[in-house]
Amino acid sequence: MTAWMVRLAPEALTHPDADLRYVVPEALAQMSEGALQEDAYDYEPETGAMLLWFLSDAPDALAQLVAYLTTERPLGNDLRPAASVWTHEGDGLRCVWRPSDPPAP
């Protein structure tokens, strides 16, 4: 399974709310029909960014994440300016989508 991390920068959210930690994973699990499974969450110590971890072996997992982040408005938030998607590569993380990137295939 591939590990995916969604990073949400609180300063870029209209309504930063800790409940996003529950709302976003639940909505993604439902939208993906279980293909994206919530794995963990954390907060970035330096910035307070919310880090939401998911596991998936679906070939279109990135496209599903990006579709949600660019179209849904959980708790009144446009996630596009706040979100980025990361995945494990080697011993670190690699950003695979930012709001300025085109839609995932």
Residues 95, 84: contact at Cβ < 8 Å? yes
Residues 23, 74: contact at Cβ < 8 Å? yes
Q: How far apart are CA 6 and CA 83, in angstroms?
A: 7
Domain with 54, as residue range(s), is 2-97
92 within domain boundaries: yes
Q: How far apart are CA 93 and CA 53, in angstroms?
A: 12
23 within domain boundaries: yes
Q: How far apart are CA 102 and CA 7, in angstroms?
A: 18
Domain count, the chain: 1
**Structure confidence at residue 103 (pLDDT):** 61
**Structure confidence at residue 69 (pLDDT):** 96
72 within domain boundaries: yes
Which residue stretches of the chain have pLDDT < 70? 102-105
**Structure confidence at residue 53 (pLDDT):** 98
**Structure confidence at residue 83 (pLDDT):** 97
Global pTM reads 0.93
Supply the CATH number for residue 78's domain: 3.30.70
Closest CA to 39 of 101, 78, 86: 86
**Structure confidence at residue 102 (pLDDT):** 65
User: At 63, is the secondary structure helix, strand, or coil?
Assistant: helix
